[in-house]
Structure 1
Amino acid sequence: MKTIGVFDSGVGGLSVLRALLAEIPEAQFFYVADSAFAPYGERSAQAVVDRSQRMAAYLLQHHTVDALVVACNTATAMAVDELRRMYPHLPIVGVEPALKTAASLSRTGHIGVLATRGTLDSERFAQLRGRVEASTPRIHFSCQPCDGLADAIERADPSTTQLLCERYLQAVQALKEPAQPIDTLVLGCTHYPFAAPVLSELCGPGVALVETGLPVARRTRAVLGLDATGHRSADAAAGLRLFSTGDPAALTLAAQRWLCTSASASHLVC
């Protein structure tokens, strides 16, 4: 059985883990929410690199994982290259805002991107955006940093989540050209899919929401050389262990809500 380590600054990475559980049901997963230091998107680059290195070291030393999934856009942007240098023989899969997918879906060519400030300010994002815009000249991205949104989702605060979603969508719409209505919205933080019902209602049926969970899960399966014939046991919790550097009860509740699992999280000092 393959073992896969997954980490995020908090509960947002559960959106990626949900796709991983469906795509690689036979694997053993170890998920770490670094909630004591969330959100990464509003921390310095060095702080994100340091925490990412701690998360990776814990998963490798204590669980001997066969692959590592960095289920955080900010950590991928700021730390994944360093992690790959540190562990050259370990398959490491990161997440990036799905700009290429959004470009292929958009009819108007105008795409909104919601992400953390750390992701949008990173050189990795600038390079990704440049590649997509160069290959598809008709595409225009309206990028909006969403300070506080990941934290509101992390705290399961629906009123603040609603308020911030309204604010940031209005900001994205204000950036568009009148002749180019936004028809695609990239959820550029792994927390944001858990606000998808709110965003969908605010955007209306004409706007497609794009996230990264499924492509990441398929990439992870591919780098491990696994086929698609695996099966999970009747008890889904048997293949999953959860850890949090913050309140484990919050992670347990989030996993119950979004993964429909009975697995309980343990507190991690790291």
Structure 2
Amino acid sequence: MCAAMSDDARPILFFDSGVGGLSVVAPTRAMLPEASIVYAADSAGFPYGTKSEAEIAARVPALLGRLAERYRPRLIVIACNTASTIALPAVRAALDVAVVGTVPAIKPAAEASRTRVIGVLGTEATVRQPYVDDLAARFAGDCTVLRYGSAALVELAEAKLAGEAVDPGAVTRELAGLFDQPGGERIDVIVNACTHFPLLADEMRAAALAGVSFVDGGPGIARRVAYLTQGQGWSHDSRAHQLVFTRLGEREERVGNHLRVQGFADPEAL
């Protein structure tokens, strides 16, 4: 490998509306410990799950264009199911950089299900997308696929990472949105179709019916990133990973405090 490649400081840019994408960063860092990371959260536009498709389709490509210009990443990961299912094609068309999206892990859920009833738990915007219909038809055609959109779980995950206590009853009430549907008592696998939800893994396991497992796309995305960057060099400097928000407030500062121990620098504003 040439010296220039081994000294390549270009980061991987992860993008989400909030902190949910950190559930994708973690397995990626485990596979690529030398990689330089920029984590960008659109805190000024949070949450995406309650916004219209038109708002997200306009906002995400514009923001990623600004981020790509500032940080010059080698690869962008849209670590948000809602943004990916709505804006991924537009982002890929607009930017001259590889872009990896996040899609609901319906295929592995269907492969793992014994009861043939699976739940898809995401934001309201994600679970209503035709893309989810297509995934269910292609990979879970013999399954009953129940869906539920939860804005509350997104807020709970954000609060948890900012150091706030999570009400177990609130998590139980949101999961009931799946389990209380006709046939919901037969669910044995739930797809975390929002990257925020793995941040509540302990609370959700405690609230779920017995025997229910959860799957998410984080490990698969990490493998894809590792494949796309295979053979590339990484800079061996000691700089901290970067954290950027589109709005810096008290909660974002608390999140920054939490991430400092994971090697991130103090948060900055876009």
TM-score, structure 1 as length reference:
0.86
Number of corresponding residues:
259
- Matches of 1:259 and 1:97 in 2, distance apart? 30
2:35 aligns with 27
Change (3 A) 1:259 1:175: farther
Q: CA deviation at 1:67?
A: 0.6
- Give CA-to-partner distance per residue, 1:42-66, whole Å, 9 cap, x none: 1111221222113311221011111
* Secondary structure, counterpart of 1:261 in structure 2: coil
Q: CA deviation at 1:262?
A: 4.2
Q: CA deviation at 1:201?
A: 0.5
Change (3 A) 1:158 1:187: farther
- Counterpart AA for 1:107: R
Q: CA deviation at 1:263?
A: 2.0
Q: CA deviation at 1:94?
A: 0.6
Tell me if structure 2 keeps the 8 A contact 1:27–1:239.
no
More displaced stretch, 71-80 vs 21-30: 21-30
| Structure 2 unmatched runs, 5+ | 1-7
* Match of residue 36, structure 1, among 29, 41, 44: 44
| 1:99 matched to 2:103 | no
Tell me if structure 2 keeps the 8 A contact 1:42–1:147.
yes
Q: CA deviation at 1:215?
A: 0.5
Q: CA deviation at 1:252?
A: 5.5
- Counterpart AA for 1:195: L
Tell me if structure 2 keeps the 8 A contact 1:76–1:95.
yes
Change (3 A) 1:19 1:249: farther
Tell me if structure 1 keeps the 8 A contact 2:11–2:73.
yes
- Give CA-to-partner distance per residue, 1:10-69, whole Å, 9 cap, x none: 111111111111112121111101112111111111221222113311221011111100
TM-score, structure 2 as length reference:
0.86
- Counterpart AA for 2:174: Y
Q: CA deviation at 1:226?
A: 4.1
* Match of residue 200, structure 1, among 195, 199, 205: 205
| Structure 1 unmatched runs, 5+ | none
1:142 aligns with 146
Measured on the aligned residues, the alpha-carbon RMSD in Å equals: 2.5
Q: CA deviation at 1:78?
A: 0.6
2:118 aligns with 111
Q: CA deviation at 1:230?
A: 8.1
Tell me if structure 1 keeps the 8 A contact 2:41–2:246.
yes
More displaced stretch, 151-160 vs 211-220: 151-160
Provide the identity percentage. 28
* Match of residue 172, structure 1, among 178, 183, 196: 178
2:221 aligns with 216
